[in-house]
A and B are shown apart, each in its own frame.
Chain A
Amino acid sequence: MSATSLQSFLAMGGYAIYVWPAYGVFFVVLLADWLAPQFRRRRLLRDVRTRTARQEARKQRASTPAPLQGEG
Protein backbone atom coordinates (compact mmCIF):
# COMPACT_ATOMS: atom_id res chain seq x y z
CA MET A 1 0.00 0.00 0.00
CA SER A 2 1.48 3.36 -0.97
CA ALA A 3 1.51 6.38 1.35
CA THR A 4 -1.31 8.21 -0.45
CA SER A 5 -3.62 5.20 -0.57
CA LEU A 6 -2.98 4.58 3.13
CA GLN A 7 -3.84 8.20 3.76
CA SER A 8 -7.06 7.99 1.80
CA PHE A 9 -7.86 4.72 3.60
CA LEU A 10 -7.45 6.41 6.98
CA ALA A 11 -9.49 9.40 5.83
CA MET A 12 -12.46 7.10 5.06
CA GLY A 13 -13.78 9.56 2.46
CA GLY A 14 -14.07 12.25 5.14
CA TYR A 15 -15.96 10.03 7.59
CA ALA A 16 -12.91 9.06 9.66
CA ILE A 17 -14.27 10.71 12.83
CA TYR A 18 -17.32 8.43 12.68
CA VAL A 19 -15.88 5.18 11.32
CA TRP A 20 -12.74 4.81 13.43
CA PRO A 21 -14.33 5.55 16.83
CA ALA A 22 -16.98 2.93 15.99
CA TYR A 23 -14.28 0.34 15.35
CA GLY A 24 -12.42 1.52 18.46
CA VAL A 25 -15.48 0.95 20.65
CA PHE A 26 -15.97 -2.49 19.11
CA PHE A 27 -12.42 -3.60 19.97
CA VAL A 28 -12.16 -1.95 23.39
CA VAL A 29 -15.48 -3.36 24.64
CA LEU A 30 -14.72 -6.88 23.40
CA LEU A 31 -11.19 -6.76 24.80
CA ALA A 32 -12.56 -5.78 28.21
CA ASP A 33 -15.09 -8.61 27.98
CA TRP A 34 -12.28 -11.01 27.10
CA LEU A 35 -9.88 -9.98 29.86
CA ALA A 36 -12.33 -9.64 32.77
CA PRO A 37 -13.00 -13.39 33.32
CA GLN A 38 -9.30 -14.15 32.86
CA PHE A 39 -8.32 -11.88 35.76
CA ARG A 40 -11.23 -13.19 37.81
CA ARG A 41 -10.14 -16.79 37.26
CA ARG A 42 -6.59 -16.03 38.36
CA ARG A 43 -7.82 -14.23 41.48
CA LEU A 44 -10.18 -17.10 42.36
CA LEU A 45 -7.43 -19.69 42.10
CA ARG A 46 -5.13 -17.55 44.25
CA ASP A 47 -7.88 -17.33 46.89
CA VAL A 48 -8.33 -21.10 46.81
CA ARG A 49 -4.58 -21.56 47.34
CA THR A 50 -4.50 -19.15 50.29
CA ARG A 51 -7.46 -20.92 51.85
CA THR A 52 -5.87 -24.35 51.38
CA ALA A 53 -2.59 -23.13 52.90
CA ARG A 54 -4.42 -21.70 55.90
CA GLN A 55 -6.27 -24.97 56.46
CA GLU A 56 -3.01 -26.94 56.20
CA ALA A 57 -1.37 -24.65 58.74
CA ARG A 58 -4.27 -25.06 61.15
CA LYS A 59 -4.10 -28.84 60.80
CA GLN A 60 -0.37 -28.74 61.51
CA ARG A 61 -0.89 -26.61 64.63
CA ALA A 62 -3.51 -29.01 65.93
CA SER A 63 -1.26 -32.06 65.51
CA THR A 64 1.90 -30.59 67.09
CA PRO A 65 1.97 -30.02 70.88
CA ALA A 66 1.14 -26.51 71.98
CA PRO A 67 4.12 -24.15 72.49
CA LEU A 68 4.93 -22.40 75.77
CA GLN A 69 1.88 -21.23 77.64
CA GLY A 70 1.20 -17.83 79.06
CA GLU A 71 2.68 -15.73 76.26
CA GLY A 72 1.10 -12.76 74.55
Chain B
Amino acid sequence: MANWMPLWLHKLSSPPVFYRCAGMLRPWAIALAVVLGLVALYGGLVLAPPDYQQGDDYRIIFIHVPSAWMSLFIYAAMGMAAFIALVWRIKLAEVVAMASAPIGAAFTLITLVTGSLWGMRMWGTWWTWDARLTSELVLLFLYLGVIALYHSFEDRRQGARTAGFLALIGIVNVPIVHFSVNWWNTLHQGSTIKLLGPSTIAPSMVWPLLTMMVATKLYYLASLCGRTRADLLALESGKDWVRQIADNEARR
Protein backbone atom coordinates (compact mmCIF):
# COMPACT_ATOMS: atom_id res chain seq x y z
CA MET B 1 0.00 0.00 0.00
CA ALA B 2 1.31 3.44 -0.88
CA ASN B 3 2.63 5.17 2.22
CA TRP B 4 1.46 8.65 1.26
CA MET B 5 -2.11 7.63 2.02
CA PRO B 6 -3.54 8.93 5.26
CA LEU B 7 -4.81 6.23 7.58
CA TRP B 8 -8.51 7.10 7.23
CA LEU B 9 -8.28 6.91 3.47
CA HIS B 10 -6.52 3.58 3.72
CA LYS B 11 -9.31 2.30 5.97
CA LEU B 12 -12.01 3.65 3.63
CA SER B 13 -10.48 1.79 0.71
CA SER B 14 -11.08 -1.53 2.45
CA PRO B 15 -14.11 -3.15 0.73
CA PRO B 16 -16.34 -3.82 3.82
CA VAL B 17 -15.79 -0.30 5.18
CA PHE B 18 -16.43 1.32 1.83
CA TYR B 19 -19.50 -0.87 1.32
CA ARG B 20 -20.97 0.39 4.58
CA CYS B 21 -20.08 4.06 3.99
CA ALA B 22 -21.46 3.97 0.43
CA GLY B 23 -24.64 2.44 1.81
CA MET B 24 -25.06 5.32 4.23
CA LEU B 25 -24.25 7.99 1.63
CA ARG B 26 -26.45 6.63 -1.16
CA PRO B 27 -29.98 7.41 0.16
CA TRP B 28 -29.00 11.00 1.05
CA ALA B 29 -27.35 11.64 -2.30
CA ILE B 30 -30.32 10.32 -4.29
CA ALA B 31 -32.87 12.17 -2.14
CA LEU B 32 -31.02 15.46 -2.60
CA ALA B 33 -30.57 14.74 -6.31
CA VAL B 34 -34.30 14.15 -6.79
CA VAL B 35 -35.32 17.26 -4.83
CA LEU B 36 -32.84 19.51 -6.66
CA GLY B 37 -33.78 17.89 -9.97
CA LEU B 38 -37.46 18.65 -9.42
CA VAL B 39 -36.69 22.24 -8.41
CA ALA B 40 -34.55 22.63 -11.54
CA LEU B 41 -37.30 21.16 -13.74
CA TYR B 42 -39.88 23.50 -12.26
CA GLY B 43 -37.53 26.43 -12.88
CA GLY B 44 -36.72 25.29 -16.39
CA LEU B 45 -40.08 24.09 -17.63
CA VAL B 46 -42.44 26.49 -15.86
CA LEU B 47 -40.67 29.61 -14.58
CA ALA B 48 -38.13 30.30 -17.32
CA PRO B 49 -39.57 32.26 -20.28
CA PRO B 50 -39.52 30.87 -23.82
CA ASP B 51 -36.41 31.67 -25.84
CA TYR B 52 -36.87 34.60 -28.22
CA GLN B 53 -35.54 32.59 -31.17
CA GLN B 54 -36.20 28.97 -30.30
CA GLY B 55 -39.52 29.26 -28.45
CA ASP B 56 -40.16 26.45 -25.99
CA ASP B 57 -37.97 23.96 -27.84
CA TYR B 58 -34.85 25.25 -26.10
CA ARG B 59 -36.16 23.71 -22.84
CA ILE B 60 -34.35 20.53 -23.84
CA ILE B 61 -31.26 22.47 -22.69
CA PHE B 62 -32.07 21.77 -19.04
CA ILE B 63 -31.32 18.08 -19.46
CA HIS B 64 -29.12 18.12 -22.56
CA VAL B 65 -26.40 20.40 -21.21
CA PRO B 66 -26.10 18.93 -17.68
CA SER B 67 -25.98 15.43 -19.24
CA ALA B 68 -23.25 16.54 -21.63
CA TRP B 69 -21.25 18.00 -18.73
CA MET B 70 -21.70 14.74 -16.83
CA SER B 71 -20.58 12.66 -19.80
CA LEU B 72 -17.23 14.49 -19.67
CA PHE B 73 -17.02 14.76 -15.88
CA ILE B 74 -17.61 11.03 -15.38
CA TYR B 75 -15.05 10.20 -18.05
CA ALA B 76 -12.47 12.33 -16.24
CA ALA B 77 -13.39 10.68 -12.92
CA MET B 78 -13.14 7.24 -14.51
CA GLY B 79 -9.76 8.10 -16.02
CA MET B 80 -8.48 9.32 -12.67
CA ALA B 81 -9.67 6.19 -10.86
CA ALA B 82 -8.13 4.04 -13.60
CA PHE B 83 -4.83 5.89 -13.20
CA ILE B 84 -4.83 5.28 -9.43
CA ALA B 85 -5.76 1.64 -10.02
CA LEU B 86 -2.95 1.10 -12.52
CA VAL B 87 -0.26 2.89 -10.52
CA TRP B 88 -1.05 1.83 -6.94
CA ARG B 89 -3.12 -1.29 -7.65
CA ILE B 90 -5.86 -0.32 -5.24
CA LYS B 91 -8.80 -2.66 -5.68
CA LEU B 92 -11.38 -0.01 -4.81
CA ALA B 93 -10.04 2.32 -7.51
CA GLU B 94 -10.51 -0.43 -10.10
CA VAL B 95 -14.08 -0.95 -8.94
CA VAL B 96 -14.88 2.78 -8.98
CA ALA B 97 -13.45 3.16 -12.48
CA MET B 98 -15.45 0.23 -13.85
CA ALA B 99 -18.64 1.26 -12.02
CA SER B 100 -18.38 4.75 -13.54
CA ALA B 101 -18.41 3.51 -17.13
CA PRO B 102 -22.10 2.50 -17.40
CA ILE B 103 -23.24 5.72 -15.69
CA GLY B 104 -21.12 7.78 -18.06
CA ALA B 105 -22.45 5.81 -21.02
CA ALA B 106 -26.02 6.51 -19.83
CA PHE B 107 -25.40 10.27 -19.70
CA THR B 108 -23.64 10.22 -23.08
CA LEU B 109 -26.60 8.39 -24.61
CA ILE B 110 -29.01 10.94 -23.11
CA THR B 111 -26.85 13.76 -24.50
CA LEU B 112 -26.88 12.29 -28.01
CA VAL B 113 -30.60 11.49 -28.07
CA THR B 114 -31.78 14.79 -26.58
CA GLY B 115 -29.35 16.65 -28.83
CA SER B 116 -30.77 14.79 -31.81
CA LEU B 117 -34.33 15.75 -30.83
CA TRP B 118 -33.21 19.36 -30.50
CA GLY B 119 -31.23 19.29 -33.74
CA MET B 120 -34.14 17.88 -35.72
CA ARG B 121 -36.14 21.03 -35.04
CA MET B 122 -33.34 23.60 -35.09
CA TRP B 123 -31.09 22.28 -37.85
CA GLY B 124 -33.61 20.12 -39.69
CA THR B 125 -31.62 16.91 -39.22
CA TRP B 126 -31.31 14.19 -36.59
CA TRP B 127 -27.62 13.80 -37.09
CA THR B 128 -24.70 15.49 -38.81
CA TRP B 129 -20.97 14.64 -38.78
CA ASP B 130 -20.15 17.83 -36.98
CA ALA B 131 -17.05 17.98 -34.73
CA ARG B 132 -18.99 18.24 -31.46
CA LEU B 133 -21.46 15.49 -32.35
CA THR B 134 -18.81 13.16 -33.71
CA SER B 135 -16.49 13.52 -30.72
CA GLU B 136 -19.42 12.91 -28.36
CA LEU B 137 -20.25 9.75 -30.32
CA VAL B 138 -16.61 8.68 -29.98
CA LEU B 139 -17.02 9.24 -26.23
CA LEU B 140 -19.97 6.84 -26.19
CA PHE B 141 -17.91 4.23 -28.07
CA LEU B 142 -15.06 4.69 -25.59
CA TYR B 143 -17.42 4.02 -22.70
CA LEU B 144 -18.85 0.97 -24.46
CA GLY B 145 -15.34 -0.23 -25.29
CA VAL B 146 -14.29 0.04 -21.63
CA ILE B 147 -17.40 -1.89 -20.52
CA ALA B 148 -16.93 -4.60 -23.18
CA LEU B 149 -13.21 -5.01 -22.47
CA TYR B 150 -13.87 -5.28 -18.74
CA HIS B 151 -16.40 -8.06 -19.26
CA SER B 152 -14.29 -9.96 -21.81
CA PHE B 153 -11.91 -11.22 -19.09
CA GLU B 154 -12.62 -14.18 -16.86
CA ASP B 155 -10.60 -12.54 -14.09
CA ARG B 156 -12.40 -9.36 -13.00
CA ARG B 157 -9.26 -7.63 -11.73
CA GLN B 158 -7.31 -8.37 -14.88
CA GLY B 159 -10.26 -7.04 -16.88
CA ALA B 160 -10.45 -3.89 -14.78
CA ARG B 161 -6.77 -3.16 -15.31
CA THR B 162 -6.91 -3.70 -19.08
CA ALA B 163 -10.11 -1.68 -19.46
CA GLY B 164 -8.59 0.99 -17.20
CA PHE B 165 -5.73 1.29 -19.65
CA LEU B 166 -8.18 1.94 -22.49
CA ALA B 167 -10.02 4.47 -20.31
CA LEU B 168 -6.74 6.27 -19.68
CA ILE B 169 -5.84 6.47 -23.38
CA GLY B 170 -9.35 7.64 -24.26
CA ILE B 171 -9.04 10.63 -21.96
CA VAL B 172 -7.49 12.61 -24.84
CA ASN B 173 -11.02 12.74 -26.28
CA VAL B 174 -12.34 14.77 -23.32
CA PRO B 175 -10.67 18.11 -24.25
CA ILE B 176 -11.50 17.41 -27.91
CA VAL B 177 -15.22 17.23 -27.06
CA HIS B 178 -15.01 20.30 -24.88
CA PHE B 179 -13.08 22.54 -27.25
CA SER B 180 -14.53 21.19 -30.50
CA VAL B 181 -16.90 24.15 -30.80
CA ASN B 182 -13.93 26.54 -30.64
CA TRP B 183 -11.41 24.58 -32.71
CA TRP B 184 -13.66 23.78 -35.62
CA ASN B 185 -16.41 25.62 -37.37
CA THR B 186 -19.34 23.62 -36.07
CA LEU B 187 -23.07 23.61 -36.50
CA HIS B 188 -23.35 23.09 -32.76
CA GLN B 189 -23.53 26.37 -30.89
CA GLY B 190 -20.65 27.53 -28.71
CA SER B 191 -20.67 27.67 -24.91
CA THR B 192 -23.06 30.18 -23.45
CA ILE B 193 -21.99 29.57 -19.87
CA LYS B 194 -18.43 30.57 -19.17
CA LEU B 195 -16.36 30.17 -16.05
CA LEU B 196 -14.25 33.14 -17.09
CA GLY B 197 -16.10 36.20 -18.24
CA PRO B 198 -19.82 36.91 -18.49
CA SER B 199 -22.21 34.20 -19.63
CA THR B 200 -24.41 34.93 -22.63
CA ILE B 201 -27.62 33.49 -21.22
CA ALA B 202 -30.39 34.98 -19.08
CA PRO B 203 -30.21 34.43 -15.28
CA SER B 204 -33.72 32.91 -15.28
CA MET B 205 -32.34 30.17 -17.53
CA VAL B 206 -28.98 29.82 -15.79
CA TRP B 207 -30.14 28.89 -12.31
CA PRO B 208 -32.24 25.86 -13.36
CA LEU B 209 -29.32 24.74 -15.50
CA LEU B 210 -26.83 24.99 -12.64
CA THR B 211 -29.25 23.36 -10.19
CA MET B 212 -29.69 20.48 -12.60
CA MET B 213 -25.92 20.24 -12.89
CA VAL B 214 -25.64 19.78 -9.12
CA ALA B 215 -28.53 17.28 -9.18
CA THR B 216 -26.85 15.17 -11.88
CA LYS B 217 -23.55 15.24 -9.95
CA LEU B 218 -25.38 13.96 -6.87
CA TYR B 219 -27.12 11.34 -8.98
CA TYR B 220 -23.73 10.15 -10.22
CA LEU B 221 -22.52 9.91 -6.62
CA ALA B 222 -25.60 7.89 -5.59
CA SER B 223 -25.50 5.60 -8.62
CA LEU B 224 -21.75 5.10 -8.19
CA CYS B 225 -22.36 4.04 -4.57
CA GLY B 226 -24.97 1.50 -5.69
CA ARG B 227 -22.83 0.06 -8.48
CA THR B 228 -19.68 -0.03 -6.37
CA ARG B 229 -21.54 -1.88 -3.61
CA ALA B 230 -22.82 -4.53 -6.03
CA ASP B 231 -19.35 -4.88 -7.62
CA LEU B 232 -17.64 -5.25 -4.25
CA LEU B 233 -20.08 -8.01 -3.26
CA ALA B 234 -19.38 -9.84 -6.51
CA LEU B 235 -15.62 -9.42 -6.18
CA GLU B 236 -15.50 -10.61 -2.56
CA SER B 237 -18.36 -13.12 -2.65
CA GLY B 238 -16.26 -15.77 -0.90
CA LYS B 239 -15.41 -13.56 2.08
CA ASP B 240 -17.06 -13.67 5.49
CA TRP B 241 -18.33 -10.08 5.47
CA VAL B 242 -20.34 -10.77 2.31
CA ARG B 243 -21.83 -13.92 3.87
CA GLN B 244 -22.86 -11.94 6.90
CA ILE B 245 -24.60 -9.36 4.73
CA ALA B 246 -26.34 -12.15 2.80
CA ASP B 247 -27.53 -13.73 6.06
CA ASN B 248 -28.74 -10.44 7.50
CA GLU B 249 -30.61 -9.68 4.32
CA ALA B 250 -32.38 -13.06 4.45
CA ARG B 251 -33.49 -12.52 8.03
CA ARG B 252 -35.16 -9.21 7.23
Q: What residues make up the interface of A, taking CB atoms closer than 8 Å to B?
A: 9, 12-15, 18-19, 21-23, 25-26, 29-30, 32-34, 36-38, 40-41, 44-49, 51-52
Q: Smallest Cβ distance from B65 to chain A, in angstroms? A: 12
Say whether, besides A15-B121, A37-B227, A22 and B60 are in contact (CB < 8 Å).
yes
Instruction: Confirm or deny: B35 has a beta carbon within 8 angstroms of a beta carbon on chain A.
Output: no
Tell me the bound Cα distance from A26 to B59 in angstroms. Answer: 13
Residues in chain B near residue A18, CB distance under 8 A: 57, 60, 117-118, 120-121
Q: Are A44 and B237 in contact (CB under 8 A)?
A: yes
In the complex, residue of chain A having the shortest beta-carbon distance to the beta carbon of B105: A33
Q: Mark B45-86, 1 if CB is under 8 A from A, else 0.
A: 110001000011101100110010000000000000000000
Which of the 9-residue segments B183-191, B201-209, B243-251 touches chain A? B243-251
Q: Are A13 and B242 in contact (CB under 8 A)?
A: no
Q: Smallest Cβ distance from B175 to chain A, in angstroms? A: 25
Q: For chain B, residues 88 to 143, give those with C-beta under 8 angstroms from any C-beta of chain A.
A: 102-103, 106, 109-110, 113-114, 117-118, 120-121
Q: Are B110 and A12 in contact (CB under 8 A)?
A: no
Q: Are A12 and B59 in contact (CB under 8 A)?
A: yes
Residues in chain B near residue A37, CB distance under 8 A: 223, 226-227, 229-230
In the complex, residue of chain A having the shortest beta-carbon distance to the beta carbon of B224: A37
Q: Are A19 and B230 in contact (CB under 8 A)?
A: no
Instruction: Confirm or deny: B233 has a beta carbon within 8 angstroms of a beta carbon on chain A.
Output: yes
Main DSSP-derived SS at the B contact region: helix
Main DSSP-derived SS at the A contact region: helix
In the complex, residue of chain A having the shortest beta-carbon distance to the beta carbon of B115: A22
Instruction: Confirm or deny: B148 has a beta carbon within 8 angstroms of a beta carbon on chain A.
Output: no
Chain B interfacial residues counted at CB < 8 A: 39
Tell me the bound Cα distance from A60 to B167 in angstroms. Answer: 48
Q: Are B233 and A44 in contact (CB under 8 A)?
A: yes
Residues in chain B near residue A23, CB distance under 8 A: 63
Q: Are A45 and B233 in contact (CB under 8 A)?
A: yes
Residues in chain B near residue A13, CB distance under 8 A: 50, 55-57
Tell me the bound Cα distance from A44 to B249 in angstroms. Answer: 12
Residues in chain B near residue A30, CB distance under 8 A: 106, 110, 219
Tell me the bound Cα distance from A44 to B170 in angstroms. Answer: 31
Q: Are B223 and A19 in contact (CB under 8 A)?
A: no
Tell me the bound Cα distance from A15 to B55 in angstroms. Answer: 8
Q: Are B234 and A44 in contact (CB under 8 A)?
A: yes
Residues in chain A near residue B63, CB distance under 8 A: 22-23, 26
* 4 A-B pairs with least C-beta separation: A13-B56, A15-B57, A48-B246, A22-B114
Tell me the bound Cα distance from A32 to B226 in angstroms. Answer: 13
Tell me the bound Cα distance from A48 to B113 in angstroms. Answer: 39
Subset of 25 A-B contacts with CB under 8 Å: A9-B45, A13-B55, A13-B56, A18-B57, A18-B120, A18-B121, A19-B59, A21-B117, A22-B60, A23-B63, A25-B110, A29-B106, A29-B110, A33-B103, A36-B102, A38-B226, A40-B230, A41-B230, A44-B233, A45-B233, A45-B245, A45-B249, A46-B246, A48-B233, A48-B237
